[in-house]
């Protein structure tokens, strides 16, 4: 996981980028770690390849322990040539999602996720 901090005071926010394991048990451990680490941040964006749907059971600690909420809609991103699985997500806390959709990503077997946000 990569974690970046932006701004100070009330305008501060964090951006975290991750790529989780293929196995549910491994993801459960990884998500538990992420939930603990990110629980203190009121304004937060977590994005990446989660290798599971945003409503998978192992995702629940993120929504329970942080300000993060599931994406506003399910968008399938894999495989890029005929997307059938929703594996890539942008989860936000403390932001309003203005736009959320998939875009082609050159050279990748996944579609990219594009999001436009406004602070709340």
Report the distance separating Cα 5 and Cα 69, nearest Å.
19
Q: Which pLDDT tens digit goes with each residue over 13-43?
A: 999 999 999 999 999 999 999 999 999 999 9
- pLDDT recorded at residue 3: 98
- For residue 20, the SS3 value is coil
- pTM equals 0.95
Q: Which pLDDT tens digit goes with each residue over 37-64?
A: 999 999 999 999 999 999 999 999 999 9
Q: How many domains does the chain have?
A: 1
Question: What domain range is 109 assigned to?
Answer: 2-119
- pLDDT recorded at residue 5: 97
Please, what sign has the CA dihedral across residues 21, 69, 62, 116? positive
- Sorted by sequence, the CB contacts under 8 Å of residue 88 that are 6+ apart come out as 47, 48, 49, 50, 77, 78, 102, 110, 111, 112, 113
User: What are the structure tokens assigned to 47, written together?
Assistant: 């994005």
Q: Which pLDDT tens digit goes with each residue over 73-85?
A: 999 999 999 999 9
CATH number of domain containing 28:
3.60.10.10
């Amino acid at each position: 996981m990569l974690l970046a901090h932006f701004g100070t005071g009330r305008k501060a926010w964090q951006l975290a980028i991750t790529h989780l394991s293929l196995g549910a048990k491994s993801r459960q451990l990884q998500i538990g770690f992420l939930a603990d680490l990110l629980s203190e941040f009121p304004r937060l964006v977590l994005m990446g390849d989660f290798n599971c749907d945003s409503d998978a059971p192992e995702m629940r600690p993120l929504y329970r322990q942080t300000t993060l909420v599931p994406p506003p809609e399910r968008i399938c991103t894999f495989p890029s040539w005929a997307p059938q699985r929703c594996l890539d997500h942008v989860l936000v806390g403390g932001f309003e999602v203005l736009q959320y959709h998939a875009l082609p990503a050159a050279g990748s077997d996944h579609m990219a996720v594009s999001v436009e946000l406004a602070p709340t």
